[in-house]
């Protein structure tokens, strides 16, 4: 009789199988300090111990929804939001310039020639007729916005108006430079930070009359309306660009507010009124400022500055006379 007793497979137990499963508790514990205070950093994709700062896990998979909401309740599953600064709103595709395949191997000469032909066809068919006409206009708009130092909100508003103008056929028979200057003029007025016609004329080389006429046509045909420009819209920017003392800008705004209801200044240019107010305020406060400096910045002549300077003084004198008589 054998001294070894037979054993069944079910009777065999390993030590690790008999021990309690501690993997669940270890996953929630910091292996460095043993703390349970773990948190997930969604930006870096890491699980970090709040006690000692030890990174427990990294490159975590985002378990959230795979869609993103950009506008309203529309769920977009991939890609950035559409951009009005691109002719196709950033939704088009193109053949790249790479000379290697997906595995990193070089492409043979015959495939390179075929890819070059596909790339040319892709460039020809990437835009439709409206987008092809819009492409040079958006490039000019970006260049003009950079020269004027406009914020992205101004560029996007001008791009929307430009797209509507081209879709309405208003670019036929008109210079693209004049159209771009006009849409920037209208967009700046809509957002409450108008730019002067002389300023746009110097930046684009288009005459003031042509920009004004084009802006009127676009405003009438597209229904783009905005409030009239006021002198107080120009004073802070002019004072900042001239590097004046803040007291001069505040005094200029006060002068413009005092003569706001004056009928003498109703038919005058707001840029001219702002220039005259800056010159008058600098004179009252004893700040050295010449008419030539203001003329170079604002685009109005020295004669116009002197004219509005006299009108402001007369209007202020008329307001002070009844008070003295009383």
Domain of 292, CATH number, reads: 1.10.472.10
CA distance 264 to 139: 42
Residues 46, 57: contact at Cβ < 8 Å? Answer: yes
Mean per-residue pLDDT over the chain, rounded? 80
Do 236 and 321 have their domain in common?
yes
Do 271 and 185 have their domain in common?
no
Do 251 and 185 have their domain in common?
no
Beta strand 55-57 with 68-69: parallel, antiparallel or unpaired? unpaired
Do 245 and 314 have their domain in common?
yes
Do 245 and 301 have their domain in common?
yes
Domain boundary pick from 188, 222, 256: 222
Three-class SS of residue 100?
strand
Do 243 and 318 have their domain in common?
yes
Residue at 8 is within a domain: no
CA distance 289 to 280: 10
Do 137 and 188 have their domain in common?
yes
Do 278 and 313 have their domain in common?
yes
CA distance 301 to 306: 9
Residue at 88 is within a domain: no
- Half-sphere exposure in the Cβ direction for 240 (13 Å, CA): 5
Mean pLDDT of 234-262: 86
CA distance 43 to 59: 10
Domain boundary pick from 161, 190, 222: 222
Q: Which sign, positive or negative, has the C-alpha torsion 154, 155, 158, 160?
A: negative
Q: Which domain holds residue 298?
A: 231-325
| DSSP for residue 291 | H
Residue at 91 is within a domain: no
Distances in Å between the Cα of 326 and the Cα atoms of 65, 322, 323 are: 74, 6, 5
* CB burial readout 173-194, b (16+ within 10 A) else e: ebebbbbbbbbbbbbbbbeebb
Do 243 and 201 have their domain in common?
no
Q: Tell me: the pLDDT tens digits for 98-107?
A: 777 777 788 8
Residue at 70 is within a domain: no
pLDDT at 1 over 50: no
- Residue 228 neighbours by CB distance under 10 Å: 8
Do 198 and 240 have their domain in common?
no
Residue at 45 is within a domain: yes
Do 269 and 183 have their domain in common?
no
Number of domain units in the chain = 3
Mean pLDDT of 170-180: 90
CA distance 284 to 29: 73
Domain boundary pick from 222, 252, 269: 222
Q: According to the model, what pLDDT value does residue 183 have?
A: 93
Q: Give the CATH number, domain containing residue 52.
A: 2.20.25.10
CA distance 273 to 270: 5
Q: What is the pTM of this model?
A: 0.63
Residue at 105 is within a domain: no
Q: Tell me: the pLDDT tens digits for 99-133?
A: 777 777 888 888 888 888 888 887 777 777 888 88
Distance of CA 83 to the CA centre of its chain: 10
What is the pLDDT confidence band of residue 64, given thresholds at 50, 70 and 90?
A: low
Q: For residue 1, list its beta bridge partners.
A: none
Instruction: Compute the radius of gyration of the chain from its Cα atoms.
Output: 34
Of residues 314 and 303, more confidence is placed in 303
């Amino acid at each position: 009789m054998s001294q070894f007793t037979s054993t069944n497979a079910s009777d065999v137990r390993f030590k690790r199988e008999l021990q309690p499963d501690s993997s669940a508790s270890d996953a929630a514990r910091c292996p460095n300090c043993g703390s349970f205070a773990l948190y997930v950093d969604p930006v870096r994709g890491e699980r970090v111990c709040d006690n000692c700062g030890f990174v427990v896990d990294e490159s975590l998979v985002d378990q959230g929804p795979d869609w993103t909401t950009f506008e309203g309740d529309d769920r977009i599953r991939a890609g950035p939001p559409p951009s009005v600064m691109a002719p196709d709103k950033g939704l088009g595709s193109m053949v790249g310039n790479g000379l290697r395949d997906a595995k990193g191997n070089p492409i043979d000469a015959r495939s390179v020639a075929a890819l070059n032909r596909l790339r040319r066809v892709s460039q020809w068919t990437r835009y439709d007729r409206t987008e092809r006409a819009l492409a040079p206009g958006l490039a000019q708009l970006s260049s003009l916005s950079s020269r004027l130092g406009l914020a992205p909100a101004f560029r996007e508003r001008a791009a929307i108006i430009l797209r509507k103008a081209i879709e309405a056929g208003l670019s036929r028979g008109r210079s693209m430079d004049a159209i771009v200057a006009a849409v920037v003029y209208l967009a700046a007025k809509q957002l409450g930070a108008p730019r002067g016609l002389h300023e746009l004329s110097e930046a684009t080389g288009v005459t003031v009359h042509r920009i004004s006429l084009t802006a009127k046509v676009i405003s009438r045909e597209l229904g783009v309306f905005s409030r009239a420009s006021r002198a107080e819209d120009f004073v802070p920017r002019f004072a900042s660009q001239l590097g004046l003392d803040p007291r001069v800008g505040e005094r200029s705004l006060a002068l413009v507010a005092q003569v706001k209801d004056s009928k003498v200044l109703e038919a005058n240019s707001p840029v001219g009124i702002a220039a005259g107010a800056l010159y008058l305020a600098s004179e009252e406060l004893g700040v050295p400022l010449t008419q030539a400096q203001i003329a170079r910045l604002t685009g109005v002549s020295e004669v116009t500055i002197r004219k509005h300077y006299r009108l402001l003084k007369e209007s202020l004198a008329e307001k002070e006379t009844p008070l003295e008589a009383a």
